[in-house]
Structure 1
Amino acid sequence: MATIYYRNIPIDGVKVFYREAGTQHAQTIILLHGFPSSSHMFRNLLPTLAEHFHVVAPDYPGYGYSECPSVEQFTYTFDHLEEIIEKVVSALKLPFFSIYVQDYGAPVGFRLAVKHPEMIEGIISQNGNAYQEGFTSFWDAARPFWSNRNAETEKPIRNLLTQESTIWQYTHGVRQKDHISPDAWTLDQLGLNRPGNAEIQLALFEDYRTNPESYPQWHEYFRRYQPPLLAVWGKNDPIFGPDGAEAFKQDLPQSEVDLLDTGHFALEEDGDVIAQHIIRFLTTRKPA
């Protein structure tokens, strides 16, 4: 079993936490987590992948064990999160790598890919959306908030920060709820409950509107560079539906789509299956 290292690195005055394993391997995978999670979501995936790859899983500022500066001290946008991850990549001297993106990890990872296409060897999207087709009715409450943020339009967004909502994200659409460790949502909720964290999450959710606006740029990157892409997707996800996985084929006709009978946090129930998909995909496919 590979050794996991738990490390911190200062980036622009913010302590960024990351997990690292498999440093003896030539190929690197950067694991980019979603909301409201952290690198903890990769706790079981890391040791398996580390037998074949060098793996790095950072926590964004405001998440997990990274520092949590206030919204007055740090600009919480997806552009800024990408810049932080880009600087982590530079500090660790990683010239080439694949990215695993889930939920919020998609807008971070795809921004990075657009800026540095020469670095990207492959993409694994696990419920990491890049197409309008992926949006479900979950997002209906977001649009009023995006167009006119006020106390009333904030209410449904603040409801996403409750323990009930966090548990729902982990358990909706799974085959068996007793497959899902309560450690996952408990740690996430501890992070959400930190003083000032609600404002951080509201800021990022407000900025999420910039992601659909960026889709055409991401699609152009896909078409031009044809990165090998594996979409391994919990098909019962109430947030990003399976049409979002199939949509990658519009611009990446050679992409591979595997739909799993589980929910948004597919690693919790099908981590072993996903690990084997990744190992096969990255060891048999080569960058275009």
Structure 2
Amino acid sequence: MHSKSRRTRFKTQPVGGVDVIYREAGPADAPVILMLHGFPTASHMFRDLIPLLADSYRLIAPDLPGFGQTKSPPRGAFDYNFDRLADVIEGFTDSLSLDRCALYIFDYGAPAGLRLAMRHPERVSAIISQNGNAHVDGFSDQWGPWEAYWRGASEANREACRPSLSLDTIRNWQYGTGADPELLSPDGYELAIAYMARPGAEDIQLDLIRDYRTNVARYPDFQSYFRQHRPPLLATWGRYDPAFIPAGAIAYKRDLPNAEVHLLDAGHFALETHAGEIATLIRDFLGRVLPMENNGTDTFSMPENRMPT
């Protein structure tokens, strides 16, 4: 394969009134992995992983509306909620004719990506969940202010969530908890902090925090999707995540008994310290499950049960 196709390219795709900025690498005819980031980051969270997989896969990582470099309308002209994020990603995949892909879902990317999967189950070849929650089992005891805001949209409850957006919380709690400080590059969290400091960014994020309650309400729907369509699923989970605990990874096995679960000695942003290990797990997993698509059926036969490690 020519080395040129392994280079990450930065592109723009208009979707309605949103200009989606995205990273792409890998051969145009290779199996696609659609990579959906979380809060408060953007597609730069995949900067170490993409080069490790670009020899064998076509990797596409968009910045969601309200994040990174994607240009979207201001609050009031665009509803910043998870249904709208899913709408934009659906339009994005339509525009790029991505009719079959594996989903890499993380944090906020999980409810956006799973909405897309429920709308178009035929498009999903596999799911890789890296600290991407879909079960209430996965919540830690650190969600108090958010849960209060979900129960009541008062200004006081909204302001009580604002510390979640602070420099200290992003750097030390979200990125730092459970991460080896000698392996944790400042590149990721400093860019996330810079994005959060832009005018209007905090109010967009507070809108999304309020709407996060709709994701929890959809968990039973996500789980029904898993049981009905049985996508091959790999969970690569930072076991020291302060927000989404390992029980959320293991819970996938209730709906998908053959889901493969790996608990890494990492935090929420496991790619910041364990991109190599995650790339190896993805190669092994997709190398086994994607060829099964050539058997002429829509039913996946997962390999033997893999226990958490």
TM range (shorter): over 0.9
Aligned counterpart, 1:252: 256
Could you tell me which of 14, 19, 27 is aligned with 1:15? 19
Specify the code of the residue in structure 1 equivalent to 2:175.
Answer: Y
Could you tell me which of 48, 70, 75 is aligned with 2:52? 48
CA shift for structure 1 position 256: 0.2
Specify the code of the residue in structure 1 equivalent to 2:42.
Answer: S
1:104 aligns with 2:108: yes
Aligned counterpart, 1:136: 140
User: CA–CA distance in 2 between the matches of 1:155 and 1:217?
Assistant: 30
User: CA–CA distance in 1 between the matches of 2:129 and 2:186?
Assistant: 24
CA shift for structure 1 position 68: 4.3
**Contact between 1:25 and 1:52, CA under 8 Å: does it hold in 2?**
no
Specify the code of the residue in structure 2 equivalent to 1:27.
Answer: P
CA shift for structure 1 position 94: 1.0
TM-score by length of 1: 0.97
Could you tell me which of 171, 176, 199 is aligned with 1:171? 176
Aligned counterpart, 1:148: 152
Specify the code of the residue in structure 1 equivalent to 2:11.
Answer: R
1:232 aligns with 2:236: yes
Specify the code of the residue in structure 1 equivalent to 2:202.
Answer: A
User: CA–CA distance in 1 between the matches of 2:19 and 2:124?
Assistant: 25
1:268 aligns with 2:261: no
TM-score by length of 2: 0.91
Aligned counterpart, 2:217: 213
Q: In the TM superposition, what whole-angstrom CA distance separates every residue of 1:38-92 from its partner, at most 9, and x where no partner exists?
A: 0000001111111110010000111111114321111111011001001110111
Specify the code of the residue in structure 2 equivalent to 1:30.
Answer: L
Q: In the TM superposition, what whole-angstrom CA distance separates every residue of 1:144-164 from its partner, at most 9, and x where no partner exists?
A: 111112232123311011110
User: CA–CA distance in 1 between the matches of 2:123 and 2:72?
Assistant: 29
Aligned counterpart, 1:30: 34
Q: In the TM superposition, what whole-angstrom CA distance separates every residue of 1:89-118 from its partner, at most 9, and x where no partner exists?
A: 011111100000000010011101000000
1:89 aligns with 2:93: yes
User: CA–CA distance in 1 between the matches of 2:81 and 2:26?
Assistant: 31
**Contact between 2:27 and 2:56, CA under 8 Å: does it hold in 1?**
no
Specify the code of the residue in structure 2 equivalent to 1:43.
Answer: R
User: CA–CA distance in 2 between the matches of 1:235 and 1:68?
Assistant: 34
Aligned counterpart, 1:183: 187
* Number of residue pairs the alignment of both structures matches: 287
Aligned counterpart, 2:126: 122
**Contact between 1:68 and 1:197, CA under 8 Å: does it hold in 2?**
no
CA shift for structure 1 position 223: 0.4
Identity %: 44
Deviates more, 1:176-185 or 1:38-47: 176-185
User: CA–CA distance in 2 between the matches of 1:166 and 1:41?
Assistant: 14
Tell me the C-alpha RMSD between the 2 structures. 1.0
Gaps of 5+ in 1: none
**Contact between 1:99 and 1:122, CA under 8 Å: does it hold in 2?**
yes
Q: Structure 1 residue runs of 4+, over 6 Å off? A: none
Aligned counterpart, 1:159: 163
CA shift for structure 1 position 15: 1.1
